[in-house]
Structure 1
Amino acid sequence: MSIDAKGFALLLSLVLSSTLPAAATSAERPDAEYAVAQREKLQSARMAIAQGDRASLARIRGELAGYPLLPYLDYWELSKKLSRLPYGEIDSFLEQYRDTAIGDWMRVKVLRELGSRQRFRAYLKYYDAGTIRRTSLRCYYADALARHGDKTEAYRLVEDLWLVGHSQAEECDPLFARWIRDGGLTDELAWRRHMLALEAGNLDLADYIAGKMSGEQASLAALARSVHRDPGQLLNHQRFLRSSPHYRKIVLHGLGRLARRSAEDALTAWRHYDAGYLFEENEREALLREIALQFARQDNLDGLRVLVQQSENFSDERTIEWLARQALRELDWAQVEFWINRLPESARNHERWLYWRARVLEEQYGDARQQEAAYLYRRAAQERSYYGFLAADTLGQNYSFVDRPAPINAKAVEEMSARPAMQRARELQAIGELYHARREWNYATRGMDHQQLLTAGKVASSWGWYHKSIRSVLAADYLDDLELRFPLAFADIVTDASRRMGQQTALDPYLIYAVARQESHFSHDAKSGAGALGLMQLLPSTARATARRAGVQLRRNWDLLSPSTNIALGSFYLSTLLNRFDNNRILAAAAYNAGPTRVAQWLKETRQQLPYDVWIETIPYHETRKYVQNVLAYSVIYAYRSGTNLPLLRENEATTRL
């Protein structure tokens, strides 16, 4: 997130007020006051750059000697004059800040400027293939190479840029036009992109590419588009059984389209084409997975069973798990056992299916196979997870937390935190330049080994940058340091919210922690693709409605990035869901993710016939199913982190049929 000068002052005051201790010691106070003064000087320097006040800039620059963000003054100053292309200053900057985030960002800015002005000889000088990923800049490079370098290499690069199913950046248009004029576009390359466009559902692009074909290739492309629009044509099998790889491609694409209309018709047609074509094994598996998925979406369970049972080598794990869950929903334990046994061995030995294998044995055979069921429960209970906790509860044993702090020494943490890139990331975070802060951090941690990532995670945790701490230990694949993975973030705010909201409902701090951990990894500036904001990922519309009921002031959406505001509103909304669903955290968590209306509908469909574990396992949305399981498990872990023993389920949750 980048902010203007006016927004900066407001956010700076918010940041400082929320990050400084309530009662700093005399030793801490001067350091805090010095940091505030330096940040204010940086803002003044930035305004001097904007106003072209060189004298003030020079004076302030001298006062900022040693300040971590001093390089950003050079960055902002050069960015302002970049349109004049001061090559000497550019070269000096790129040399001085080689292998830094701002060095790479400046290179990108320079390339954009040069490309847009067609300064292609200079472009070749500044382009770095190892760091540039943007398609527009890659197109500029290939164009520059074609004009002033190795045209053969340039056109090899063009083919990679060409073969995509979407329209490329407009910066690529001149390059493609030159390549086509020079005869680079063959009918085969046109055909391949045409089919990629169809697979992506981009008919306009497919029509455009077809206009560049000729002869038989153009006729085949027209047939492919016709089948895309009306895949029912494939039921006329004789028309499409031709000894041609192009026809095979059309058939595969059309069958996938047909499956979306009628999986049953697609399966019928597939049997004819599978006998007549030599399909690759990966093509066969991909199409059968698509037909299976569409059977599921069309609620045609019988058709899906037929597909799986008649396809000898079909072993798609996702499909078989779906069938097992459908059998669970019907409480058909024999069918549950049948489908679990069809899963690959690795899946059967995951704690999820260890638990359900044990449940099947209990339901099917009772005491006769109790020892075998107990053995499976014990294996599952070794895991720190939702299923592990379920299994432990069934056995009446303690949970397995496996809490092992990462091997990190204090000196390594001190050295890591002192790295210039780390200091820049921290200071950018402090002044509200969150976008640049994340980029500095990502740049600083790229290429780190396992131990360095753990140390970086410890640094982030000490700074209160919890989402970076969590992601660092995940990237290091060290999952047993529960302090780093499950930080007690914003503890005072969470505790206060639970005290106020929990008076009417079963809301406790562990549930708040669990929801925030699941929603955002404690990233207070998180924003989802749907527009949800902040720690507990509230949609602005939901937040405004909640604010009115909670008596919380919410002037603008930006306020949701404040941890205190976000947690207050998120906790209040969560408490209303608990109230609506009789203090059942299973239902409240599901409603927080999928909405209370959907949860009410799911309850109506199941008619309170299902045990809680079956209901959770058969939640229609994969995301919501995983969400509920994580929130319940995380609540247990957060209670443990707080020195409290909390069962996975409360009595009302474990005994209520859903």
Structure 2
Amino acid sequence: MYRVIVKRGLLPIMAVLLAQGAAWAQAAADATLLEMREAFRRNQSAQLSILLPRVQGHLLEPIAVYWEMKSRLETASPREVRQAMARIAGSYWEDRLRNDWLLALGKQRDWSNFEAELPHFRMNDDRQVQCYALMLDAAARRRPADEAARQVFERWQAQREAEDGCSTAAKAFLDSHHLSNEQVWQRARLAMEANRPAVAAQAVAMLSPESAALVDAISANPARYLDDKFTAFRHRTKELVTLAIIRLASVDLSAAVREMDLTRWKAQLTMEERSWLWGLIGKRMAQTTGLQDQALTAFANGQDRYMHADHLAWKARAGMRAGAWGHVRDAIAAMDEAQRQEPVWVYWRARAMQALHEPDELTAHIVASGLYRSIAGGVGFYEQLAREALGQPVTAPPAPLPPTPQEMAEAQAQPGLQRAMAAFRLGLRSEGVREWNYTINHQTLGGMGDRELLAAAALACQQEIWDRCINTSDRTRGFQDVSQRFPMPYRPQVIKRSGDIGLDPAYVYGLIRQESRFITDARSGVGASGLMQVMPATARWTARKIGLVDFKPYQIQERDTNILIGTAYLKLALDDLDGSMPLAAAAYNAGPARARAWRQGPVLAGEVWTENI
């Protein structure tokens, strides 16, 4: 009897000790994972290999396996890479490793292993991989070369950097005459417009290796290059002059206008080249406070059919601003079919028709109404404007039935979502976001259905992973859960603070949602921090204005301090702008000086102003 009592007394103690041991082991593995992350950032391959065994069995082991293999991917054998992928099969990290390996195989021109692995790439969203695949398909006659070249060109144009995949494929199609010299120069023009001279030089080198070296000189001092050029009769020289004026328009817009007025360029550049340049100059003017009214004059110097899609969009915006609806109509008419069918341009085409009464008022009304109806079923900004134009109320859709217990249990049982939540808890936000997105989009063919997305979003809301809650709920198509898409966390802090200083809490919530998606430790590329994305200088200035003594820069990372300073700055902007909520929200993001300048401009309809800022 005594022995039984002793044994029974020991059982709870043993359970506690086992639980403590498991917790310690978990904490040690967590620490090892964080150590591995730092080793991965420093590209310490040997250290990663040493640490990897210590996280065996951890829920986030797939991340560690990925880090270790990625760090030595260039030297690993195909067998080693495939073994690593098999070890983490079914996770985002398996497909991420496959993506990286396909890129490495493409650079190595190992087409045998590339083609063997490509069918297993579930995400299939990497432009470089797609370009390699299109090039191989055309070479093997699995796809018409013209069609493959068109798709490669689209992806090449979308790439921001001078990467190998699409440039290699573009060069192959250029050599086989399925891409034209003009398309390559277009790549160079867009790169120069985006201030990416390395990308422009890569494109120019495909056509004229000796001219590629000039691109850096043009980028550094376009005016000097143009001063040295008196003739541009050869096509290559015309294009280099075009690149120089593109660059000049970015650094000295007035000088670019003067350059375009020179007789030699009027005579020597083609109408296509001049139209592109005037399109760019018009775009820059339309984007520059104080010059918007001159934009249409610049656009009028060129022909719409030669302008780039982005130039046409800004010509349409400049036309709206000036009330010149003929320019809006013409710019939209010159767009390609895909751009013209975007809801924004369907809406503005209808507005232009109504304003112009073409061919007569009744016909214009009938056609415009048809255009509005074609987009009024959507939930976007212009879709809702179309509903207003049709006299239909803009109302919140009925809420869907909440997820059932079974649906919630299935979401909680998803290994990918479990890994994502574990990553968030450990501070591995980027890794958690990637795993989460992969699970809802690619874990099953076609991604999750609406009810699955609803449950996954509810799970994210429960865990206070607000950005995934919003993002996941936004993907439902058959219904909308407004409470998920527009959550209101931190209610005591936001509502009390808003009430104390006379701000509408809904206004504050809308701004926070847009600025940070409620991520408390969010940091922007320019240094803004926290829920309300406050810049350090703004935080210091606002702290002084509201009498916050002993404010230290690190405090802006604290949730309550961030809300305190962010709402104070918003209130100061609102008061400065006579209570205009749209202007104050714009000032919060773009700065008060720009908002004041916008206020000095013409009185515009709200939707026209929104389109132009």
The change in CA–CA distance for 1:550 and 1:407 in structure 2 (over 3 A counts) is: farther
What is residue 88 of structure 2 aligned with on the other side?
A: 97
Aligned residue runs from structure 1 range 384-423, under 5 A: 400-406=394-400, 409-410=403-404, 411-423=406-418
- Which deviations, in whole Å up to 9, do the C-alpha atoms of 1:400-421 show, x marking residues without a partner? 2232334674233431232011
Partner amino acid, structure 2, of 1:299 = L
Aligned residue runs from structure 1 range 573-584, under 5 A: 573-584=569-580
Matched, 1:200 2:191: yes
Partner amino acid, structure 2, of 1:290 = L
Aligned residue runs from structure 1 range 386-535, under 5 A: 400-406=394-400, 409-410=403-404, 411-447=406-442, 448-451=447-450, 452-477=452-477, 480-499=480-499, 502=500, 505-535=501-531
Offset of 1:445 from its aligned partner?
2.2
Partner amino acid, structure 2, of 1:523 = I
* In 1, Cα distance between equivalents of 2:19 and 2:551: 29
Aligned residue runs from structure 1 range 127-276, under 5 A: 130=121, 200-201=191-192, 218=210, 229-230=223-224, 232=226, 239-241=231-233, 244=235, 246=236, 249-250=239-240, 252-253=242-243, 256-257=246-247, 260=253, 261-263=255-257, 266=260, 272=266
Partner amino acid, structure 2, of 1:595 = G
Moved more, 517-526 or 191-200: 191-200
* In 1, Cα distance between equivalents of 2:353 and 2:21: 60
Aligned residue among 546, 562, 584 for 1:588: 584
Please report the RMSD computed on the Cα atoms of aligned residues, expressed in angstroms: 6.6
8 Å CA contact 1:194–1:221 kept in 2: the answer is no
Q: Secondary structure at the match of 1:537?
A: coil
The change in CA–CA distance for 1:267 and 1:568 in structure 2 (over 3 A counts) is: same
Offset of 1:205 from its aligned partner?
8.4
The change in CA–CA distance for 1:560 and 1:241 in structure 2 (over 3 A counts) is: same
The change in CA–CA distance for 1:300 and 1:198 in structure 2 (over 3 A counts) is: closer
8 Å CA contact 2:185–2:239 kept in 1: the answer is no
Partner amino acid, structure 2, of 1:42 = Q
What is residue 347 of structure 2 aligned with on the other side?
A: 350
Partner amino acid, structure 2, of 1:308 = A
* In 2, Cα distance between equivalents of 1:513 and 1:273: 56
Offset of 1:125 from its aligned partner?
12
* In 2, Cα distance between equivalents of 1:303 and 1:168: 32
* In 2, Cα distance between equivalents of 1:107 and 1:381: 41
* RCO comparison, higher one (Cα < 8 Å, 6+): 1
Matched, 1:304 2:288: no
* In 2, Cα distance between equivalents of 1:533 and 1:200: 31
The change in CA–CA distance for 1:394 and 1:326 in structure 2 (over 3 A counts) is: same
Partner amino acid, structure 2, of 1:486 = F
**Stretches of structure 1 lacking an aligned partner (at least 5 in a row):** 1-33, 143-149, 151-159, 328-334, 362-370, 626-658
* In 1, Cα distance between equivalents of 2:426 and 2:20: 9
Q: Paired residues, what number?
A: 519
Offset of 1:470 from its aligned partner?
2.1
The change in CA–CA distance for 1:428 and 1:234 in structure 2 (over 3 A counts) is: same
Q: Secondary structure at the match of 1:200?
A: helix
* In 2, Cα distance between equivalents of 1:268 and 1:545: 48
Q: Secondary structure at the match of 1:472?
A: helix
* In 2, Cα distance between equivalents of 1:72 and 1:295: 48
Offset of 1:466 from its aligned partner?
2.2
Offset of 1:223 from its aligned partner?
11
- Which deviations, in whole Å up to 9, do the C-alpha atoms of 1:287-313 show, x marking residues without a partner? 452243245458274673474398486
The change in CA–CA distance for 1:39 and 1:168 in structure 2 (over 3 A counts) is: farther
Offset of 1:594 from its aligned partner?
2.0
Offset of 1:422 from its aligned partner?
0.6
Partner amino acid, structure 2, of 1:350 = Y
The change in CA–CA distance for 1:552 and 1:41 in structure 2 (over 3 A counts) is: farther
The change in CA–CA distance for 1:403 and 1:57 in structure 2 (over 3 A counts) is: same
* In 1, Cα distance between equivalents of 2:115 and 2:305: 55
The change in CA–CA distance for 1:553 and 1:309 in structure 2 (over 3 A counts) is: same
Offset of 1:560 from its aligned partner?
4.4
What is residue 42 of structure 1 aligned with on the other side?
A: 26
8 Å CA contact 1:488–1:513 kept in 2: the answer is yes
- Which deviations, in whole Å up to 9, do the C-alpha atoms of 1:133-180 show, x marking residues without a partner? 9999999x99xxxxxxx9xxxxxxxxx99x9999858x99xxx9xx9x
The change in CA–CA distance for 1:114 and 1:509 in structure 2 (over 3 A counts) is: same
The change in CA–CA distance for 1:97 and 1:571 in structure 2 (over 3 A counts) is: same
Partner amino acid, structure 1, of 2:421 = R
- Which deviations, in whole Å up to 9, do the C-alpha atoms of 1:227-278 show, x marking residues without a partner? 9555756996xx4345x5x45544654554566433365377699569x858
State the TM-score, normalizing by the size of structure 1. Answer: 0.57
Q: Secondary structure at the match of 1:350?
A: helix
Offset of 1:213 from its aligned partner?
9.5
8 Å CA contact 1:454–1:476 kept in 2: the answer is yes
State the TM-score, normalizing by the size of structure 2. Answer: 0.60
**Stretches of structure 2 lacking an aligned partner (at least 5 in a row):** 1-17, 37-46, 134-138, 140-151, 334-342, 358-364
The change in CA–CA distance for 1:252 and 1:450 in structure 2 (over 3 A counts) is: farther
The change in CA–CA distance for 1:321 and 1:479 in structure 2 (over 3 A counts) is: farther
Partner amino acid, structure 2, of 1:467 = D
Partner amino acid, structure 1, of 2:315 = T
- Residue identity over aligned pairs, in percent, reads 23
- Which deviations, in whole Å up to 9, do the C-alpha atoms of 1:606-646 show, x marking residues without a partner? 5xxx65x5488447x94xx4xxxxxxxxxxxxxxxxxxxxx
Partner amino acid, structure 2, of 1:200 = A
8 Å CA contact 2:285–2:292 kept in 1: the answer is yes
